[in-house]
Amino acid sequence: MIDVGALRALRSVALLGTVAQAADELGFTPSAVSQQIKRLERQLGVAVLAPAGRKVVLTPAGQVLVDAAPDVFHALERCVAAAQSVSHGTPIGVLRVDAFSTGIRGLIAPSLAGLAAEYPDLDVRVTEQDPDRAVHSLDSGNADVALIHDADGLPTPLPPVLTQKLVHIDYGDVVVRRDHPLAQLKRDLTSDDLGGCAWVTSPEGTVCHRWFQRLVAGVPEQADVRHMVDDFSTQLSIVEAAHVVALIPRLARPPLTPAIVALPLSRPPRREVFAAWRRSADASPLVHAFVSALNADPQTPQ
């Protein structure tokens, strides 16, 4: 019987191209990964990797092995899920969750206390990852659940072995000081209301900056962007101190001070948030308990 851990190490090397990158992903040293693969070669009696400059490539035997690896991992996972499901469906063990930062803040963190109270033997361990990286970790077996979002209206691509469930819809609000003229309108804002405003925005290339660009696209006056800040708490401090305007997702929004207020938009930017997992874990009580603890009913603007 071959070593499953060594097989997982080989697949990571194949996906990432180097032993060092695979070791970083798996949390081992490069030497430990090399030893695992050498042990696998001894068990098989054939070489599975060959040097190629600074990288390594699979031998024909290694390629066949990597191609079959997902079936092996998924079969083992189905065995574990089946055993757990007949134990009264009680979630017991470690659940590894990869998620984007504001999803951790707005969805996962609020659910942890309730999960711990209801399932004391469920050990949730969270790692911050961008959606694309989280999907890779999930596909490679280094995470059990990934929290992802559609990127600017486009869904995060999923391999066929993964499935997902919509758990939340996030919206963006305009945040201003209470004494700002926009705060006196007492209604949902439109793009026409935003002319002449000074802004603090997320940096270019981020989802929130693209939200901002679309929001102000129809404003007659050019947007006056005075600050670009990635951290939303810092954005709020600048809103309060400098009398500027910000566009902030609700999931990312920390508690507001009495001096500032969030104003809803008549046509707010939005993103759908999904929990994803491997189809072979469909019967896992750990996965079901965690996903059910998230906000399973998509929210409407408020």
- Asked if 41 contacts 166 with a C-beta cutoff of 8 angstroms, the reply is no
Q: Helices 30-44 & 4-16, crossing angle to 10 degrees?
A: 120
Vertex 106, ends 181 and 167: CA angle to 5°?
115
Vertex 19, ends 15 and 24: CA angle to 5°?
85
Q: What is the mean pLDDT of each run of 10 residues along the chain (302 residues)?
A: 84 86 86 90 89 85 87 78 64 93 94 94 94 90 92 80 94 96 93 91 90 83 89 95 94 93 94 94 91 67 44
Give the global pTM: 0.75
State the pLDDT at residue 67.
87
Tokens for 209? 């900056």
State the pLDDT at residue 302.
46
State the pLDDT at residue 171.
94
Domains, the chain, ranges and CATH? 4-69 (1.10.10.10), 84-169+271-293 (3.40.190.10), 173-267 (3.40.190.10)
State the pLDDT at residue 90.
78
Tokens for 137? 């970790």
CA pair distance 267, 192, nearest whole angstrom: 12
- Asked if 274 contacts 295 with a C-beta cutoff of 8 angstroms, the reply is no
Give, as one character, the DSSP assignment of residue 105. Answer: I
State the pLDDT at residue 88.
57
Vertex 274, ends 269 and 276: CA angle to 5°?
155
Contacts of 148 (CB under 8 A, 6+ apart): 99, 100, 131, 134, 135, 156, 164, 273, 274, 276
